[in-house]
Structure 1
Amino acid sequence: MKKITFIMIIITLTFSIGIGVFSNPLLANTENTQKESRERYLNIMAINKPQYKMVKKIVNDKHNVQYMMTEENDINKFKYNKEIIDNVSNMDIFIYSGTSFEPWANSFIDELKKGSLGIVNLSRGVRLLNYDGNESSKENPYYFEGIDSYKIALYNIKAAIQDKDPKNRDYYEENYQKSIKELNDKIEPYNKKVNALKDYTFLALNDNFDYLTKDLGLHVVKLNNYEISEFIKVNNLDEKKLIVLKDGTEQTNMNLSKYKVVNLWKYYGNMSFDELILYNIKVLTDLL
């Protein structure tokens, strides 16, 4: 009888322990914790390749990043359809320049199915300039070739991704700070020559490089409708200290053979914007 009672006690204890194990709320909490700690995977769409490269500086390979076009001409002539609208609407983040660089962007955004889609205007916080410096004239869309403007645009990307993936906000902040430091470090060797360029007058054939020349503190005058020789004479300029600032992407009928000419690029699809900035600074300082 005692032997049977002992066996029953053992069975009862074993059953009780089993219930305790299977009803342990810690196991359920562990499963929930695993779900909560699962990495967020974002799908990010940029309009052009340089914007894509900016995003990659912040996320590296952590998320899926795509872009729609490379060349400026393709961007200007782009026509969207329902399939493209649906594709972008299914993304987590959509990035655009926020200026007339993409003349169709506003109407495109109006047709997107917003839902959880985050839309990032890279020009937010940038002090946009106008052509000819006239408030009533058309905006100058090439802010991304300016040093300060580029940093603001990169910050906007970083902040948008942090909002979507706050768990990794420190990671994105570190990548942002690293990218800014790398750009500053690459510009620093040119600073002495840039200061020397301030002894020169730059004659701009258009306004495309206003953001960069402003950040570099260069003395720029606009040709407007003058002939160069007449402009030099009227403004009493020293021809030996005059450099013609030309857009390398555009043709001109002017005879520039007797002047110092520098060809800059306002946009180059296969270059990241920081590479474009550095390229233009190098071309300028190579004059010396």
Structure 2
Amino acid sequence: MADMQIDSSPVRTVNVTRYVTPLREGGSLPAIAEADDGFLYVLKFRGAGQGVKALIADLLGGELARALGLKVPEIVFANLDTAFGRTEPDEEIQDLLKASVGQNLALHYLSGSITYDPAVTVIEPKLASQIVWLDCLLTNVDRTARNTNMLVWNKELWLIDHGASLYFHHSWDNWAEQSLRPFVQVKDHVLLPQAAELDEVDAAYRAMLTEEKVRSIVELIPDEWLTASASDAIAADRREVYARFLTARIASSEIFVKEAQHARKSLI
């Protein structure tokens, strides 16, 4: 396999050329697909489940993780042509492809990777604390023992699938209030027992995630994703909410750090 490009900006755009196989693990029917750059990707469809909001969460979560030095497969925008999938015999998949014409999201496929198993692979306290901190920031409910959303590849831990993050954007109503809430679901985080260095990580990560850095990542969201769910929505307004939610949450990170530490004490 060729070396992966992991530079976070700008996000490359590829054109999907071949649907290889569905990945039945997720409810949103992601797939392995080939693009016109010759690489294989795990393709996340705008026509699935939570639609473009899951793609936005995946994009922001992945690029924030990368900005913090965590390992994430390269994220690309993946264009799906109207003609794509017409020969697909599975009606459910064909409907999904038709509903996903345009700009989708894809992650570089880590061939030969294995799902992280806490019983097999021990994660050091610093890395565990970094990932727990990130997921508390993102309000990511999907990093549990049942579904770790982490892969071991080349003896390193890689983070995938942040689509279940930022759940404030499914209602928008009280995003400012939600930005200051503790993340109570951290009690189910698969790495919480090892996360013994949350205070040290908090200080380092707050310094790294400046408002300028956060806004540069939020700027990556395509306008069409920001307006897809509401015809009267203005992309700039939605983008501003994401930036303000994240910067407020970082500024008040002691709230979610204390919640995580409290939850950890009850486990160990």
When the two structures are superposed, what TM-score results if normalisation uses the length of structure 2? Answer: 0.26
The structure with the larger Rg is 1
When the two structures are superposed, what TM-score results if normalisation uses the length of structure 1? Answer: 0.25
- Determine which structure has greater relative contact order: mean sequence separation of CA pairs < 8 Å that are 6+ residues apart, divided by chain length: 2
